[in-house]
Amino acid sequence: MPKRSLRQQILARRRALRHDLWLTSSRMAQQQLVSLDEFTRADCIALYAPVHNETGTSEILEVAISAGKRVLYPAVCGDRMVFRHVTGIECLAEGCFGILEPCSTGHDHQADEPDLIVVPGVAFDLSGHRIGYGKGFYDRFLHHPGRTAHLIGLCHDFQLIDGTIPAEEHDIRMELVVTDQRIIRTADQFFGTRK
């Protein structure tokens, strides 16, 4: 199925998700993620603020801050995305596209700083390929030459498809995909040296 059709189909299903089902799925997926060794070992993690029933991240934020980790959230600046340090959910305010973002004060962080980046997506496959929203913000951000972070796709289980997502040469694959029901460690990853 073409990316555009798959994107539309899954977005429609996600937007129709009842709040109680979204809440349960989000909690389970976040519990799976914080149980990972990659999360435990990370000193600095990058999260996202959910929109349109994306899997939540607020519980990951709470666990990370309680464990003394630095936490970064994305902010869109023109045609690029940067990450900024936050100390709690109260540091976020509505920004570009109606998504919560850190305020514009503070240092901008690049993809070579986090040890772990939690990546949103419309769909993922079992090999770690991802369909985003089509604007390329994460693709451009993750192409930083110094990035060594573990990349984890986080989604509801129905967003993880059994088929293969059409991939282009510039697309970056996830090392793991975490859902409310599964943790998938994808094969044949080439991520270089780890921090």
What is the pLDDT confidence band of residue 62, given thresholds at 50, 70 and 90? very high
The average pLDDT across 41-68 equals: 96
Percent of the chain with pLDDT over 90: 56
Whether 193 shows a pLDDT value over 70: the answer reads no
CATH of 3-185, one of 1.10.3720.10, 3.40.50.10420, 3.40.50.2020, 3.30.565.10: 3.40.50.10420
pLDDT for the residue numbered 187: 65
Amino acid at 118: V
Nearest to 113 by CA among 76, 87, 82, 152: 82
Percent of the chain with pLDDT over 70: 93
Instruction: State the DSSP string of the chain.
Output: --HHHHHHHHHHHHHT--HHHHHHHHHHHHHHHHTSHHHHH-SEEE-----TTPPP-HHHHHHHHHTT-EEEEEEEETTEEEEEEESSGGGEEE-GGG-EEE-S-S-EE-TTS-SEEEE--SEEETTS-EE--SS-HHHHHHT-TT---EEEEE--GGGEESS-----TT----SEEE-SS-EEE-SS-------
pLDDT for the residue numbered 189: 44
Are the beta carbons of 104 and 96 closer than 8 angstroms? Answer: no
Are the beta carbons of 92 and 100 closer than 8 angstroms? Answer: yes
pLDDT tens per residue across span 151-170: 999 999 999 998 888 777 77
